Amino acid sequence: MKILTVLLPLLIFHCSQIQWRPASLAVERGWSETGKNIVQTEVIYEEKDAWNPLNGTTHKKNYRTKFRIYEISGPGNDSGDPPIYSYEVGSWTLPGSVYFHSATNRLFWIQGTNDEYGGSIRFPAVWSPKGFHSFEPKNFQKENQTIFQFVPSPDGGKAAIILGKLKSDLEIESPMLIIADVNGQSSSYDRSYFEFPLAKWEETPEFRIRWSENSNLLYVRVQDQVFKTNEKSKKLEEAKEFPVCFYPASSFGPVGISPGGRGGDSDIARDMEPPPFKRYKDKPLVKSLNQTKDCSQ
């Protein structure tokens, strides 16, 4: 009887550990192009411990993502007011992929389709509280392609996308650059996107895309070469000169992990990171990759 008395609480504790329970990832934050809005992204899921503690991880399912968009009342201040827009999708979103554009009221992100967080089955998505029906990734993304980059232009009207087939050794086969129209101005008879095959692509600093300040050009770095393109040329041309910065890739976007705080599901105050995109300029133009630098600081 004494043994049962001792073991029963341990058994109850162990059973509670293998029950599904709510969990979430750290809240991410991103600035809009005006600096007047921020978007907070919170990935929520259910988890339970594995039977074998040596697994070192938990089982996870039922991913959801909550977007909350806030107005900033002053420079560097979060008023703590409720979000002006909230939106939820029924899966995870890729870290660092969420953008909100104030002028067009468009939210951009890369979304998964199953419970394999960060897995290769994912697609680009766009939403607007004002209504949005013009962006259809099935027009250009094939079933066996993984999306690696999804970067909207500074004016919010276009998006640059890198697609490819992800092999078992994580090499990217048949990489493709897509420039897609997200304005919804193309008719059903027009092609609302342009595609450009790339010789190679890796998710490393030697491979970058970068919009021009006025959204007219896209610069593409492929190792030690830089190309440029737009809708008019419909081809990749070698760039004789290019902006000194290839990061950030657009005039707005994610700034990384946000500390938990007011504006999400917590009431704890937090510091506000300043927008790093106000210094987004094309000039000075340079002619050598040795002259490029990270301009997020």
Tell me the H-state helices in the chain.
2-17
What are the helix and strand counts (H, E) for the chain? 1, 21
DSSP 70-132: EE-SBTTB---PPPSEEEEESS-B-TT--EEETTTTEEEEEEESSSSTT-S-EEEEEE-TT--
Give dist(CA 275, CA 103) in Å, integer.
16
What's the confidence (pLDDT) of residue 78? 47
What's the confidence (pLDDT) of residue 191? 59
Give dist(CA 175, CA 178) in Å, integer.
10
CATH assignment of 22-291, among 1.10.3470, 3.40.50, 1.10.10, 2.130.10:
2.130.10
Give dist(CA 232, CA 186) in Å, integer.
15
Under DSSP, the state recorded for 183 is S
Give dist(CA 293, CA 247) in Å, integer.
8
The answer to whether 151 touches 249, Cβ cutoff 8 Å, is yes
Max intra-chain CA distance, the chain? 84
Helix (H) or strand (E) holding 65: strand 58-71
The answer to whether 95 touches 108, Cβ cutoff 8 Å, is no
What's the confidence (pLDDT) of residue 293? 84
The answer to whether 92 touches 110, Cβ cutoff 8 Å, is no
What's the confidence (pLDDT) of residue 275? 75
The answer to whether 98 touches 28, Cβ cutoff 8 Å, is yes
| DSSP three-state, residue 237 | strand
Under DSSP, the state recorded for 248 is S
Q: What is the pLDDT along the chain (297 residues), one digit of tens a residue?
A: 555 454 445 444 445 457 899 999 888 989 999 989 999 999 999 998 877 665 667 888 999 999 999 998 654 444 457 899 999 999 999 999 999 999 999 999 999 999 999 999 999 999 998 877 668 888 899 999 999 999 999 999 999 999 999 998 989 999 999 999 887 654 444 457 889 999 999 999 999 999 999 999 999 999 999 999 877 777 899 999 999 988 899 999 998 766 544 444 455 555 666 777 778 899 889 999 999 887 766
| DSSP three-state, residue 160 | strand
| DSSP three-state, residue 6 | helix
